[in-house]
Chain A
Amino acid sequence: MSLAKKLKKWEAFGFISQEQADKIGRFENTFNSEWILKTLFWLSGSLIGFGLILIVGANWDSIPMPIKFVGDFILFGACLYGVYQSIEKKHSYWAEMFLMLAFLMVGATIGLIGQSFNLEGGWRSFALAWALLSLPFALMSRLKSLNVAWVILLASSFLSLDDLEDLIFKLEFYGLVILVFLCAAASYGSYRLAEMVKNRVVLFQALARTFLLTMYVMLFVSGCKFGIFSDFLEVRSVLAKFFVLTFLGICMLLAFKRKDIKSFRNNALLLELYICFLFLSSLHDMLVSGIGFIIGGLLILGLIFVGRRTLVYIKNMQGFKKNV
């Protein structure tokens, strides 16, 4: 339901007056246009930065190397000046644009150095140097997207796609379980760090979110690889199913204690999704038959229905109502 419709409904029930409805509507519209403006500034910085990276990549022969370096350092210096001035004058949008540009210019400059001096070393050493040198910009930015990009960049310097593939396909069940707990601990630690600095540094929040996402991915990988795509009656298969269901249940319990309705709802939906997968996997070969397709389609409809009812039920739960 759109905000305008909600405001009309609340006004009709007498929760708010017309004046209040108008004020809320004006405020939300301003907030939305601010969000759009911020995104456009961020987008322009990203496009300019990626454009510079591509120019470096083309390695234009007509421009002598010393000129390329001087030009690059002058541009970078100008960008840093832009960051400084924007921060001093409290122009947050310009600051975010210049910070994004500075972050990408570090990558472009390292690429130029690598190209000019024919440096060896693959993506990992490049990514590590880029992450370390662009850390000041990630720390100063309030944009989660820049901080998440920085976290992914740093992670890619330690873990290649091949390593990730090995992790998912070659690691045993207990290895994945340990990974899930390690990610959970790292996420919790990062959230605590973010709270300690009173969320002044967005990087810790980005780290926490990345670890949390990785935790859920590893959980589902273990649940699917050992719980679904393996022999139904095997001990490991039973353990995997039990682990996923219990872990999500514990997440829901912790969310309920914290009165975190969003986390409770997300974990509840994931639990329902996993149960749906379990049921689908029990159909085995029948799943790829005509009956299987019909059952699959009906299950998805059922999942949507159950999911919506779950959301309504959670919203009306006593434990969360007190918080409102």
Chain B
Amino acid sequence: MSKIWLKIFLALPLVLLIGWTLTLYVYKEKGQEVRLPIYGYDPVDLLSGHYLNFTIDWKNADCRQFSDGICPEKDFCKEGRMSRACRFYVPEEYAFELDKLLFQNRSSSRKFELVYSYNKGVAPMAKELLIDGKPWRKSLQKKNK
């Protein structure tokens, strides 16, 4: 294999990964932001770390955020056995605490919401987890003080 072809062959995966990252970043930043209420539980994905697994509470969601006033339920999250399952990755050190809070959510008065970046035709991307309207990091810091 000539030197040029070897360089191209080796660089191709890295170039594709960088391209994919930049594309996702653009979609995330340029998409329309929508806030949706959630409830759920916490498993661990070996290769991407801890994530919160939750379902969107469409009954209490404000569909006016979407351009045609209809909540595009099928565009969000993949079909699971019982319902559509969504993910939000969290640092390992906070996973247990967040999981506990999220699991207790159904019986408590705390409001859990997720901010998505929504582009029509593209899978929505979760941007931020809100607890009582505040980013989860700030909420946990306030709770721990």
Contacts and interface: CB of A to CB of B under 8 A. Distances in A.
Interface in B79-127: 86-94, 123, 125-127
A56 B47 contact: yes
A111 B18 CA distance: 13
Nearest to B27: A117
Nearest to B13: A133
Q: Which of A120, A134, A137: most chain B CB closer than 10 A? A: A120
A157 B129 CA distance: 30
Query: Which range holds the interface residue count of chain A?
Result: 35 or more
Nearest to B47: A111
Contacts of B91: 58-61
A73 B13 CA distance: 11
Contact of A59 (B21, B46, B50): B50
B78 to A, nearest CB: 5
Nearest to B20: A113
B128 to A, nearest CB: 10
A133 B17 contact: yes
B90 A59 contact: yes
Contacts of B51: 115, 118
Nearest to B16: A133
Contacts of B49: 56-59, 111, 115
B48 A80 contact: no
A76 interface: yes
A120 B86 contact: yes
A52 B59 CA distance: 41
A207 interface: no
Interface string B10-26: 11111011101100110
A121 B78 contact: yes
A168 interface: no
A23 B31 CA distance: 71
B70 interface: no
Given A87-B6, A113-B21, A57 B48 contact: yes
A127 to B, nearest CB: 10
A107 B48 CA distance: 10
B78 A59 contact: no
Nearest to B9: A136
B88 A118 contact: yes
B126 to A, nearest CB: 4
B145 interface: no
A224 interface: no
Given A61-B93, A118-B87, A106 B13 contact: yes
Interface in A103-120: 106-120
B92 A59 contact: yes
Given A59-B89, A80-B11, A115 B48 contact: yes
Given A84-B7, A87-B6, A136-B12, A120 B87 contact: yes
**Shortest beta-carbon contacts, A-B, top 5:** A61-B91, A118-B126, A59-B49, A111-B47, A57-B49
Interface of A: 53, 56-61, 69, 73, 76-77, 80, 83-84, 87-88, 102, 106-122, 126, 133-134, 136-137, 140
Interface of B: 3, 6-7, 9-14, 16-18, 20-21, 24-25, 28, 45-51, 77-78, 86-94, 123, 125-127, 137
